[in-house]
Amino acid sequence: MKTCFVGGGNMASAMISGMVGQGGVAGDIVVIEPLSPARTALEQRFGVRTLPAVDASIAMVDTIVLAVKPQAARAAIMPVAQAIAGQPLVISIMAGVRISSLRTLFADKPGLAYVRAMPNTPATIQRGISGIYLEASVSAPQRAVVETLLSTLGAVVWVASEAMIDAVTAVSGSGPAYVFLAIEALERAAVDLGFSATDARALALHTFRGAAELAFVSETAPAQLRENVTSKGGTTAAALAHMHATQFTDHWVAAVQAAAKRAHVLGDELAAALQQAP
């Protein structure tokens, strides 16, 4: 199976690292990446072949992974569309670029099967989660390829409609930022209570990591774990009462809904821009 990465940045590097680390053949991977230092780093770290621009050697690849920023989609995809002679599986991890736009950029070539995946930044340390949407034309063997490739970045969740990729973006794509904000808040509270900045960070970070890992290994639901540490009239109860009184969870849910709406609008804007003639 020959795989061609279009863009050799953070996400592509994380996927290639996982593929090669899990015994994938580096010689079966080619990366199109205009930046010379990035190409050298990819060749030296993983032994993959790199190209500064598309050439005829990618004509018969089995899988194409689109890993450029959405703004570079048109410039990156059009030469690829001209070079391919087979019917590869096309996996896009570009935020907000819809399959209808990909189809247009690939000049409506028949036989291509499209997949959209939305990973998140912990993917760069193989601790991410990706939401994945498969077009109906994706075959069972191609689905297995998708699962193998995206699992290199962490866990995967399948969604039944492309619109749900906007929801994935809002929940787990933007999610690390919500967690970082919560870590910042706990850190600030620790400083206000008299801890040094170093100790405040340690207290906040270890609390988040420990609680998340406990929730992962425990068979008990997070809500029950929370109740287990909340004795009546105790310290945790005092904090949670304040959070409930100020509608903390309602605000959190509304924030994620705002992100989902924004993802949809950004998708509309990108679709309109990509439908225009170059």
In angstroms, the CA 16 to CA 7 distance is 12
* Least distance between ligand NAP and beta carbon 272 (Å): 18
Min. distance of Cβ 157 from ligand NAP in angstroms? 14
In sequence order, what are the residues at sequence separation of 6 or more whose Cβ sits closer than 8 angstroms to the Cβ of residue 111? 87
Residue 173 sits in the site that holds ligand NAP (CB under 6 A): yes
Region binding ligand NAP by CB under 6 A among candidate stretches 63-71, 139-147, 184-192, 259-267: 63-71
**Is 190 near ligand NAP (CB under 6 A)?**
no
- Annotate 161-193 with DSSP letters as a single string: STTHHHHHIIIIISHHHHHHHHHHHHHHHHHHT
Tell me the residue number closest to ligand NAP, measured at CB: 9
Helices of type H across 57-122: 73-83, 99-105
253 near ligand NAP, judged by CB under 6 A: no
Residues with Cβ < 8 Å from 235, sequence gap 6 or more?
none
Shortest CA distance to 89 belongs to which of 24, 48, 146? Answer: 146
Interface with ligand NAP (CB under 6 A), residue from 8, 24, 154, 175: 8
- How far apart are the C-alpha atoms of 215 and 22, rounded to whole Å? 27
Taking a C-beta distance cutoff of 8 angstroms, is the pair 153, 119 a contact? yes
Q: What is the dihedral of CA 83, 88, 93, 98, to 10 degrees?
A: 90
Q: Which is nearer to ligand NAP, 12 or 113 (CB)?
A: 12
Q: Residue 51 CB, nearest distance to ligand NAP (Å)?
A: 9
In the complex, least distance from residue 120 CB atom to ligand NAP, rounded to whole angstroms: 5
CA 170 to chain centre: 11
CB of 151: closest distance to ligand NAP in angstroms? Answer: 16
Out of 70, 88, 131, 175, point to the residue binding ligand NAP (CB under 6 A): 70
Q: Which of 1, 41, 72, 163 binds ligand NAP (CB under 6 A)?
A: 72
Q: Are 68 and 11 in contact (CB under 8 A)?
A: no
Q: Report the nearest approach of ligand NAP to the CB of residue 9 (Å).
A: 2
CB atoms closer than 10 angstroms to residue 33: 24
Q: How far is the CB of 181 from ligand NAP (least distance, A)?
A: 16
Binding of ligand NAP at residue 165 (CB under 6 A)? no
Q: Which residues in the 18-37 window bind ligand NAP by CB under 6 A? A: 32-35
Q: For tokens 């598309």, what's the residue?
A: 54
State whether residue 6 is helix, strand or coil: strand
Among 68-76, 140-148, 151-159, 198-206, the segment contacting ligand NAP (CB under 6 A): 68-76
CB of 93 to ligand NAP, least distance (A): 4
Distance in angstroms (rounded) separating the CA atoms of residues 90 and 274: 17
75 makes contact with ligand NAP (CB under 6 A): yes
Q: Write out the binding residues for ligand NAP, residues 82-141 only, by CB under 6 A.
A: 93-95, 118-121
User: Could you say which of 7, 18, 24, 267 contacts ligand NAP (CB under 6 A)?
Assistant: 7
Tell me which residues touch ligand NAP (CB under 6 A): 6-12, 32-35, 38, 67-70, 72, 75-76, 93-95, 118-121, 173
